[in-house]
Structure 1
Amino acid sequence: MKRALLTLLCSLSALAQWPTDSNLNLLICDHTGEQALPKTAALSEGGCYIAWQDLSSGNYDIYLQRLNSDGVPQWANPCGILISDHPQDTWLTDWDIAADVSDNCILAINDIRNGSDRDITVYSIGPQQEFLWGADGIALSNNDGFEPDPQIEPMNNGDIVFAWQEETSMHLRRLTAQGVDVFNPPTITFTQANGVSIPRLAAADSGAVILSYLAQQGTQFTSPRHLYLRKYAQDGTPLWNPNGVPIMTQNGIGIQMRPDVLYDGSGGAFSYWYDARGNVHHCYVQHVNAAGNVEWITDGVQVDLSANELQMSPSAIRVPAGVAIFYQTANTNQSQGGLDAQLLDVNGARLWNANGLTIAPLSPEPCFNVRAFLQDESYTVFYSQYAPGSQINTLLRASQLSQDGVPNWTPTVKELCSVVSEKGRPHACITPLNQIVAAWPDSRTATMDIFVQNINADGSLGPNTFLPPQIIISSPHDNEIVHNPDINLVFEVFNYFIDPEFGDGYVSIQLNDQDAVTTDEVAPFPLTLRTGENSIIVEILDLVFQPLEPRVMDSVIVNY
């Protein structure tokens, strides 16, 4: 079936809900009792999903709401739909949601429905509230091990890859959009001598997925960890060193550190983290090429060489020059904190001077919950910062740099929430309208309720008139029967300039299970079909051959 994954629904109507005042954020849920751990996922039409754990029943139930591009709740206002009321422990671990290529919301949770050990269950919820994998979801696991922090990675063919830790082992499982296992056997499991932990995923080329994880080096919970990457083909076959590509093998990664990974657009990956080698916290980045070889200095490039300063908890984005990375800073006794940024080129050279650029100077009110976004070709960072004089109440802020490292906004820091209140950990995503949408628990109403706010690429709050990119296959038609194997693929691209000299990016074309090819022209593209059913997928890529976020795609089935 053809999936036109991007629908133009961005008119600014009288129902627009995005507030323009940072003191008047949008209330999503005010159930009695606490709401916690919100998650966001962007949709192709410019809206988003908001999910959270809700204690109103006395159990931490899972709720989900869908907002359109104007911030208008689409389901049972104001608190969305109940996804799961299965028994949950009062001590929560992290969890995950994502939107797949058909705008279904994928949720991965752990709960105690089958016992106190916490097993992983996943759900797929359609845009019209359909429970596509059943009312109780699909059980990824059912064992006696403790399984925290499941991770989700949607793939461009509609599959979903899940990764999670069970005690000292790591598991990967891949499902189709219909919930059917792809791997045989269904779950890939591995461990190392003292256990592995902290899985993170990145979708890669030709249906492959890259996994980042830590390998513990001793028998104690506090023992240091080393950082590794693995790459798996669509069928689960290892593509790199089957024992993992070593990224950082000095001691220094502790239990609180959460390395992450980005696809580099060329078959490889950028790994980024912070560690305490030499008992000093610094941030690092490493590049692994398509062959699985480490390319930069052993154990990573230190992003900031500032003397008498610590760097922690980075967030990175792939950009045309290489990698932009934002990170917390602190003085050596950690009595003051701030926020800095650095740009590394494809060879690991620091482009924004050796000491990076300062976003928020060191002060008694540190910054944290740092998250970076590529927003309309500029680099935006969203973060929390303690309110003046408080170590409890926080403000939510954002700042944006040009590709040259120059602040784009006046003032340079904008507030998404200027209400001085205690807040839980926020979560944010970016939509095709170039709006960053953040959700967080907020105690301004006495108990923790869920609020959301958007910020546009120009630093304004509230609705905007940005038109999202769109790609549509006009020929052949979906389910068309053709009598000649040689056809011309005809597609149209809207609100994104594809041109050999001055374009914003490229179009990826994938026929069946062949490797995707790219073009910088909107022109008929010749394809040769096989006998029977053929799948054609087109997708818009940016200037570094990365999929847009969320992905902008279209597909047809053609029979020859």
Structure 2
Amino acid sequence: MNVRGRVWRAVLFAVLLGAHIPPTLAWPLDDDGQGRPPTADGQILWLANGVGFCTADGDQGIPHLAPDGAGGMIAVWTDARSTANGVDIYAQRLNAVGTPLWAANGVVVSDAPNNQLEPQAISDGAGGVLVAWDDERPGGLAIFAQRLDDTGKTLWAADGISVTTGAADNLLAQLVPDGSGGAFVIWEQHANPDRFDTNLFAQRISAAGSPIWTTPVTITLALGEQFDAEATPDGSGGFIVAWADLRDAGDQNLYAQRLSASGVALWATDGVPVSSNPAVQGIGPIVADGHGGVFVAWYDYRSTGYLADAYLMRLTTSGDRAWPNDLPVVAALDLAEGPTDLIQDGSGGVILVAAASDASGVPGTDVLAQRVDAAGVFLWGAQPVNVTPWAEQQDFAVAVPDGRGGAYLAWVDKFSDPPGYDIMAQHLSEQGVPQWAGHGVAAVALSGVQDNARVISDGAQGLIVAWQDYRNDPDNPDLFAQRISDLHQLIFPLMRKHSGQAQGPALTNEEK
């Protein structure tokens, strides 16, 4: 076997063992100026068409993912395998090579009476996971939470701890890490049976499962409804939350608030306006700006009243609008979904992902992406990058940073001949150039339906994607996952080590 063959085998062996590859290695510019070798492409690292990590009877809900800190993932989902207690919550961990580490088909997070619904999951920073969900066991709706360690053992009370109390219905909005092994839990409280008077509250839960604040903290008690909250850590031990707001009669606007680690509101009472244009604004994803502020994305009907555009605003650490005007990122198109995701670019800006109909001039829906810097300047041209400029329908796109100014994206690719849904992925460079050939890499390509993809970074210049999969039963989905890597990014360090080459990938600023 020649040196090249031995190197490829060494690379694949290292990848399949989940070896840690420094994520800051980057290739110098090549002949096409894209910062990658001309033969770059993505590779699936687990079983073809994915690893089935829950194939139990009944319906398994959309997987919610958290990194395990070792190149794998922890997934949490609703599960209807048993009819005795209604819908329950289960979890499973897959290691870096795609092996399920916990009990077959997952461990129970809660199988209390009645239904447990709408779970969210975040890493606990120690290889485990924090989970919160809506729970019907009290007769109404309350919020419960649980922590699992890296072996899948529950660390708090059986079936979870109660985060909320009282007769009012409380609906989980967001779960945000506090940086100390605990979490901030944010929820909507529906004090009236008609649910037309909704307010937002929060509580901080310690790593041991105890409430840190004496009583829940009020985020807003403004008139009307406040709902669809999105939240993100503020980088200083607290969090920032943004929401849709009906305090202004007949006009749905967006507001935001920042709370400290001790639960003190740092911005104006009841929040600061993100956008109060006289049209309907619907909240989208938000992400911290790295300086105590936040980027907020939303869909907006101001231009026509019936076709939405995707907008963006940055708020500073003091809650002031950083830009003079709302920024239309995807405009003059028929926004089919979105913005569907918003991620940091590693340089103080963000990458926004959305989907629009007929963006490429052919029938269907395309996935679009745009990179915006901290000053509100488009970095990928006046129009967003069309990631999927072909016919049929591509939508429900999600993304994770690639650590080099670009992004890994995954989406549902719907086709009609033969009919079905696949899960596809693509890597965009820091210049917004697709790095993987053709239509990207298929996480799964089977007849039938694979839907509702969710992604996390694998920590080694790749992504892990999980989805609902109907291959075994057209009525009751199972859960599958796949790991996809920029395999070329893993090759050169081992080539240099094994062949003695002196040249190699350029070091980033972090390594110099």
Provide the TM-score with structure 2 as the length reference.
0.80
SS at match of 1:194: coil
Retained in 2: the 8 A contact 1:95–1:151?
no
Specify the alignment match of 2:323 in structure 1.
296
Cα deviation digits, residues 262-291 of structure 1 (max 9, x gap): 111111111111121232311111111112
Q: Are residues 1:234 and 2:261 paired?
A: yes
Deviates more, 1:178-187 or 1:167-176: 178-187
Q: Are residues 1:417 and 2:444 paired?
A: yes
Change in Cα spacing, 1:144 to 1:394, as seen in structure 2 (3 Å) is farther
In 1, distance between residues paired with 2:377 and 2:154?
48
In 2, distance between residues paired with 1:327 and 1:352?
15
Specify the alignment match of 1:185 in structure 2.
215
Shift of 1:210: 0.6
Specify the alignment match of 1:141 in structure 2.
164
**Structure (1/2) with the larger helix percentage:** 2
What percent identity do the matched residue pairs reach?
A: 23
Cα deviation digits, residues 245-265 of structure 1 (max 9, x gap): 2111124446xx442211111
In 2, distance between residues paired with 1:455 and 1:13?
14
Q: Are residues 1:317 and 2:343 paired?
A: yes
Cα deviation digits, residues 387-430 of structure 1 (max 9, x gap): 2357x731111111111122212235221111132234222211
In 1, distance between residues paired with 2:425 and 2:461?
14
Shift of 1:331: 4.0
Report which structure shows greater RCO (CA 8 Å, sep ≥6): 2
Alignment of 1:277-292 (within 5 A): 277-278=302-303, 279=305, 280-292=307-319
Retained in 2: the 8 A contact 1:322–1:345?
yes
In 1, distance between residues paired with 2:333 and 2:217?
46
Retained in 1: the 8 A contact 2:79–2:90?
yes
Alignment of 1:145-224 (within 5 A): 145-167=168-190, 168-188=198-218, 190-217=220-247, 224=251
Change in Cα spacing, 1:234 to 1:409, as seen in structure 2 (3 Å) is same
1:102 aligned to 86, 111, 126, which one? 126
In 2, distance between residues paired with 1:359 and 1:19?
19
Deviates more, 1:408-417 or 1:102-111: 408-417
Q: Are residues 1:12 and 2:39 paired?
A: no
Retained in 1: the 8 A contact 2:173–2:187?
yes
Deviates more, 1:330-339 or 1:287-296: 330-339
Q: Are residues 1:452 and 2:481 paired?
A: yes
Q: Are residues 1:264 and 2:293 paired?
A: no
Q: Are residues 1:428 and 2:455 paired?
A: yes
Q: Are residues 1:394 and 2:426 paired?
A: no
Amino acid at match of 1:455: I
Change in Cα spacing, 1:75 to 1:207, as seen in structure 2 (3 Å) is same
Amino acid at match of 2:103: A
Retained in 2: the 8 A contact 1:374–1:380?
yes
SS at match of 1:381: strand
In 1, distance between residues paired with 2:77 and 2:122?
13
In 2, distance between residues paired with 1:328 and 1:458?
28
In 2, distance between residues paired with 1:189 and 1:292?
14
Shift of 1:49: 0.5
Alignment of 1:472-511 (within 5 A): 503-505=508-510
In 2, distance between residues paired with 1:379 and 1:38?
21
Retained in 1: the 8 A contact 2:309–2:333?
no
In 1, distance between residues paired with 2:350 and 2:15?
34
Change in Cα spacing, 1:127 to 1:503, as seen in structure 2 (3 Å) is same
In 1, distance between residues paired with 2:135 and 2:109?
13
Shift of 1:362: 6.0
Mark the runs of 5 or more structure 2 residues left unpaired by the alignment: 1-13, 19-42, 191-197, 494-505
**Structure (1/2) with the larger strand percentage:** 1
In 1, distance between residues paired with 2:177 and 2:150?
16
Retained in 1: the 8 A contact 2:49–2:482?
no
Computed over aligned residues only, the root mean square deviation of the Cα atoms, in angstroms, reads: 3.0
In 2, distance between residues paired with 1:309 and 1:19?
33
In 2, distance between residues paired with 1:406 and 1:182?
46
Retained in 1: the 8 A contact 2:336–2:365?
no
Shift of 1:465: 8.3
Change in Cα spacing, 1:252 to 1:23, as seen in structure 2 (3 Å) is farther
Specify the alignment match of 2:38 in structure 1.
none
Amino acid at match of 2:298: W
Shift of 1:186: 3.8
Q: Are residues 1:68 and 2:95 paired?
A: yes
Alignment of 1:306-455 (within 5 A): 307-310=332-335, 312-314=337-339, 315-319=341-345, 320=347, 322-331=349-358, 336-361=364-389, 363=391, 365-377=392-404, 378-389=406-417, 393-411=420-438, 413-446=440-473, 447-455=476-484
Cα deviation digits, residues 196-233 of structure 1 (max 9, x gap): 011211111321211111112467xxx54211111111
Specify the alignment match of 2:502 in structure 1.
none
Retained in 1: the 8 A contact 2:186–2:201?
yes
Count of aligned residue pairs for this structure pair: 447
In 1, distance between residues paired with 2:87 and 2:423?
25
Shift of 1:118: 1.7
Retained in 2: the 8 A contact 1:75–1:81?
yes
Cα deviation digits, residues 297-349 of structure 1 (max 9, x gap): 33x200134x4543641212111262211210114999631111112122112
Amino acid at match of 1:341: A
Retained in 1: the 8 A contact 2:44–2:443?
no
SS at match of 2:236: helix
Change in Cα spacing, 1:126 to 1:207, as seen in structure 2 (3 Å) is same
Amino acid at match of 1:176: S
Change in Cα spacing, 1:218 to 1:22, as seen in structure 2 (3 Å) is farther
